[in-house]
Amino acid sequence: MTRRPDRHRSRYSRYAGGPDPLAPPVDLAEALDAIGEDVMAGYSPERAMQEFLRRGGRDQAGLDDLARRVQEKRRELLQRHNLDGTLQEVRELLDRAVLEERKQLARDIGMDDDDRSFREMQLENLVPSTAAAVSELSSYDWASSEARADYEKIKDLLGRELLDQRFAGMKQAMEGATDEDRERINEMLEDLNGLLEKHARDEDTPEDFDEFMAKHGEFFPENPQDIDELLDALAQRSAAAQRMLNSMTPEQREELMQLSEQAFGSPQLTEQLSRLDANLQAARPGEDWGGSEQFDGDQGLGLGDGTGALQDLADLDDLADQLAQSYAGARMDDVDLDKLARQLGDQAAVDARTLAELEKALRDTGYLKKDSSGQYRLSPKAMRQLGKALLKDVATRLSGRQGARDLRHAGAAGERSGATREWAFGDTEPWDIPRTVLNAVRRTASSMVEERGTSARPEVRLEIGDVEVTETEARTQAAVALLVDTSFSMAMDGRWVPMKRTALALHTLVRSRFRGDHLQLIGFGRHAEVMEIEQLTALDAFWQKGTNLHHALLLANRHFRKHPNAQPVLLIVTDGEPTSHLEPNGEVYFDYPPHPLTIAYSVRELDNAGRLGAQTTFFRLGDDPGLARFIDSMAKRVDGRVVAPELDDLGAAVVGSYLGSRGPRDRSGGGFGGGFGGWGGRGFWVDE
């Protein structure tokens, strides 16, 4: 069989058209966890996002890492190099030329002795200064052709280095240049200066630029598209050349200025370049023309390479400012990815682009929203996502400590009884899949019996009448009051963030899996306040004397009375005894140590909660013996429980107690942490 020739061949190469279209989307879960943690610690969402971008993630370099690498490269450039490269190379060529000339004078037996002596005296008495020696030898009649060639190399080197300072790559391009090439350079410089001076007078036209580029475009690999792009490229290089001169010692600078006059054996080049520098500085005064650096290394740089190094340093300084993100309105989009890739490599640019995509996703996908004052806040969408993550962590802790496994509670249908019935419109109970499929098979089989003699293959199709659902027992609704201590001692002792994480985890569980329950969050410091979860999560720690448990219990009991048909559940998280209460006139009374009246008011209101049937659990934070005795006595009054969890386990303890309160009560005292019972090994399911 003849193989048909390929009509189309594909060539594959690295994608270079922007972000990789096949790359996975950025993972916001880790970013939201970190941002949420910082917000709960008191940071604004904007600052928390910036802190995450600065730190980076587990597998993602952050701004601090990129900035560190920028500073390391900057330090390496300064510590490795010095600016003597051109002067050293000129000195080596000069020494070689003088040595070759002396050798020639010694072996030239036909030379007049007086002439030989005069030449030797000239060479012997050369001044120590390299520039002055080169200048002295400009009119010397070389006897050695090798020496003359080395001396001419000095002029050629200086010309190429001076051009390389202003036009990158010119040193290599002009190697071995002819007089005609040098004349073309002079012509280009003359035309360039004329164009820039015409632009300064605002007399140039786009056609002038196009004509210049058509004639001299080979000297500009950057391929500027207009006069402004040309000015930007030239001014940046020229300013770096000036900073290099500023970085030299006065002696080095003087030597170089004298040597410049020998470039290509004519002062014309130096004059044209000086004119160019003046035009560029007038056109772009904002460039850094006055800066300098301290180079301390052993590796000499020529004028062109030194100018390139100063450009690199300027790039690195720009990147340091961009990565610092410390100016008003800073965004990751400000980072110059091309410059970053050029200085630190492609992977650094990929890391920065990923951070930019993270920032954009956080802002554009609705996780951060601006409030009426223009400040960013975590949106409800972000709160739900963060709550899911916290709840998943709680589920892992509960499962690991209780030996329980995740169970799926479908909606609010209740507990399965084991019986099934035919589905009716409006039912929310889960389907019994085996019974449903069996009904469809039976119906299909009976229809085949009625249609005897048919040879068609039977098809089993579900119909509404086949569907059976599992019957469930009614689930008791709960009115839950979570009282969290917001006094300053909670923040001082590192309990502020665990308290908020606990509240958010419980809030997420109730809102997502137990929607029929009524949850109220109450923060109590000097006074108590009903809080929305967003308000509690963003609450700053502030110095406030007082732990007003009495006021918090008043609000909790009001919540219970508003839901008379629900099971009251009272959860109290605190690290101190009550030290303030509400007076009959509504004023807050504070005293430390706790006043007997404050204790009495708190006890009276706790008794009221007990009479309402509240299942009460105290979560005691801290090891103070007095606090332990007080809370134990309070719990006994209402047949409640006391849990003293570690901070990392606070969320699991509160959620576990809530789940336990929704099932049959267990007074055995077993369970999580030895502090509460009643959970009965029940689990819950969290969306991934």
Question: Residues 557-581: pLDDT tens digits?
Answer: 999 999 999 999 999 999 989 999 9
pLDDT tier, 407 (very low <50, low <70, confident <90, very high otherwise): very low
342 and 283 fall within a common domain: no
Please give the pLDDT value at position 282.
94
557 located within any domain: yes
388 located within any domain: no
Q: Residue 541 CB: number of other CB atoms within 10 A?
A: 17
130 and 214 fall within a common domain: yes
Q: How many domains does the chain contain in total?
A: 4
Of 473, 496, 522, the domain-final residue: 473
68 and 159 fall within a common domain: no
d(Cα 617, Cα 552) in Å, to the nearest integer?
15
DSSP 513-536: H-TTSEEEEEEESSSEEEE-HHHH
- Of 336, 166, 160, the closest CA to residue 259 belongs to 160
Of 427, 442, 473, the domain-final residue: 473
Helix (H) or strand (E) holding 384: helix 380-402
252 and 326 fall within a common domain: no
Burial (CB count within 10 angstroms: exposed 0-12, middle 13-18, buried 19+), residue 548: buried
Assessment of whether the complete model's pTM goes beyond 0.85 = no
181 located within any domain: yes
72 located within any domain: yes
Please give the pLDDT value at position 497.
86
d(Cα 675, Cα 643) in Å, to the nearest integer?
4
546 located within any domain: yes
263 and 330 fall within a common domain: no
Please give the pLDDT value at position 8.
44
Average confidence (pLDDT) over 663-682 = 41
Please give the pLDDT value at position 433.
87
674 located within any domain: no
Alpha carbon 243 to its chain's center: 33
pLDDT tier, 345 (very low <50, low <70, confident <90, very high otherwise): very high
pLDDT tier, 639 (very low <50, low <70, confident <90, very high otherwise): very high
122 and 254 fall within a common domain: yes
Pair of tokens at residue 184: 């073309």
Q: CATH no. for residue 653? A: 3.40.50.410
Are β-strands 376-378 and 368-370 bridged in parallel, bridged antiparallel, or unpaired? antiparallel
Please give the pLDDT value at position 225.
93
558 and 630 fall within a common domain: yes
Average confidence (pLDDT) over 425-434 = 77
91 and 77 fall within a common domain: no
- Of 329, 386, 393, the closest CA to residue 359 belongs to 329
381 located within any domain: no
- The larger pLDDT score, comparing residue 468 to residue 264, is at 468
- What value does the mean pLDDT of the chain take? 83
DSSP 245-313: HHHS-HHHHHHHHHHHTTGGG-THHHHHHHHHHHHHHHH-TTS--S-------SEE--HHHHHHHHHHH
- Full residue range of the structural domain in which residue 453 is found: 415-473
490 and 637 fall within a common domain: yes
In the predicted structure, residue 456 carries a pLDDT above the cut 80: no
149 and 249 fall within a common domain: yes
653 and 543 fall within a common domain: yes
pLDDT per residue as tens digits for the range 153-185: 988 888 888 888 888 888 887 887 788 888 898
In the predicted structure, residue 678 carries a pLDDT above the cut 50: no
pLDDT tier, 475 (very low <50, low <70, confident <90, very high otherwise): low
- The larger pLDDT score, comparing residue 377 to residue 151, is at 151
E-only strand ranges, 308-380: 368-370, 376-378
Q: Residue 130: helix, strand or coil by DSSP?
A: helix
d(Cα 562, Cα 315) in Å, to the nearest integer?
65
491 and 534 fall within a common domain: yes
Please give the pLDDT value at position 18.
54
